[in-house]
Amino acid sequence: MQTEVSKRNMDVSGKVAIVTGGSRGIGESIAKALAEHGAKVVVASRKLEGLETVASAIKEAGGEAAAITCHAGKEDEIERLVAQTVERYGQVDILVNNAATNPYFGPLMRIEMPAWDKTFEVNTKGYFLMARAVAQHLIGREAPGSIVNVASIAGMGAAPFQAVYGMSKAAVISMTQTLSAELGGTGIRVNAIAPGLVETKFAGALLQNPQAIKRMEAGSPVRRIGQPDDIAGLALFLASDASNFITGQTIVADGGSRGR
């Protein structure tokens, strides 16, 4: 006998997903996981070359994907991204806000305002503009959907030497909670993931010191640094009907480090 639980698996066949920051790292892994489980995936970032590599890999594995350039902090480019996705695939059902920047690493008191502005433009304003554009599309279709915001544990406490990045991610967590409350009646769920340290090019500044890596690994209950696929599985879960009673949550994925 098929139960309601068995129906709520992580199959996303028939759904269309946009993954920003999809050319590498966490975004690439999420895009591939969604495609592997049946979604048509549009990967987006500023540079086409990396996107085409990811889209080609998805197609070679039997999935469906398209590469569309988009600056995640520019409203006109975000609107174009959503419009081109709808033109190509007819709809959008899933949004993964993953594009991010962190141009300054150092004491908060010394940051210059252009770096501050760029961080919030991409990490916070861009997430909101993407979420709003996709939500408006879903409401216009009277369709349910899932928005997954990739935040960070840096947004859940003090973040020395990456404070503005942490502040921008704290804003994403707050935005996730508010959007989930305001959009819940439409069938749109909004959740966030707060990764710990994940081995990506983006985290390069934190991974240059082998001794620091050993300390981090020793301080983790699972004794290792995160990998992009560790985040992709969680994003797939939140995008799918398996999580259809979950909204407004920020789920920490850090190997247990924050709880120690």
For residue 202, tell me if it sits in a domain: yes
pLDDT at 1 over 50: no
At what angle are helices 25-36 and 48-60 packed, to 10 degrees? 30
Cα 12 to Cα 54, 58, 146, 238, 239, distances in angstroms: 19, 15, 11, 11, 8
Number of independent structural domains in the chain: 1
76 contact partners, CB below 8 Å, separation of at least 6 = none
With a cut of 80, say whether residue 104 has pLDDT above it. Answer: yes
What's the confidence (pLDDT) of residue 128?
98
Q: Write out the catalytic residue numbers.
A: 165
Contacts by 69-76 with C-beta closer than 8 Å and gap 24+?
A: 69/44, 69/45, 70/20, 70/44, 70/45, 70/46, 71/46, 72/20, 72/21, 72/44, 72/45, 72/46, 72/99, 72/122, 72/126, 72/127, 72/130, 73/118, 73/121, 73/122, 73/125, 73/126, 74/126, 75/129
Range of the domain at 227: 13-253
Tokens linked to 119: 């961080």
Domain membership of residue 7 (yes or no) is no
Among all chains, which residue has been given the structure tokens 């591939």? 32
Which of the residue ranges 136-145, 168-177, 249-258 would you say has the lowest mean pLDDT? 249-258
The mean per-residue pLDDT over the stretch 16-44 comes to: 97
Q: Residue 125 CB: number of other CB atoms within 10 A?
A: 18
φ and ψ at residue 125, rounded to 5 degrees: -60, -45
Inside any domain, residue 2: no
Q: Measure CA of the first residue to CA of the last residue in the chain; give whole Å.
A: 42
Note whether 195 and 183 are within 8 A (CB). Answer: no
Amino acid in position 167: M
Say if 32 falls within a structural domain: yes
Mean of per-residue pLDDT scores for the chain: 91
- Check residue 255 and give its pLDDT: 84
For the packed helices 126-141 and 75-89, what is the interaxial angle rounded to 10 degrees? 40
- Alpha helix segments (H runs only) across the chain: 4-7, 25-36, 48-60, 75-89, 113-120, 126-141, 163-183, 210-218, 228-239
More confident: 209 or 227: 227
pLDDT at position 256? 79
Token readout for 128 is 């909101």
Whole-number percent of the chain with pLDDT over 70: 87
* 1 falls within a domain: no
Q: Is residue 5 part of a domain?
A: no
Query: Judging by DSSP bridges, how do beta strands 145-150 and 40-45 pair with one another?
Result: unpaired
- At 13, list the tokens: 């066949």
pLDDT at 65 > cutoff 60 = yes
- Note the pLDDT tens digit of each residue in 32-50: 999 999 999 999 999 999 9
Per-residue pLDDT tens over the stretch 233-244: 999 999 999 999
Residue 55 maps to which CATH number?
3.40.50.720
Q: Does the residue 249 lie in any domain? A: yes
Give pLDDT tens digits for 158-213. Answer: 999 999 999 999 999 999 999 999 999 999 999 999 998 887 665 555 556 666 66
Angle at CA 151, nearest 5°, toward 148 and 152?
A: 145
Rounded to two decimals, the pTM is 0.92
| In-domain check, residue 4 | no
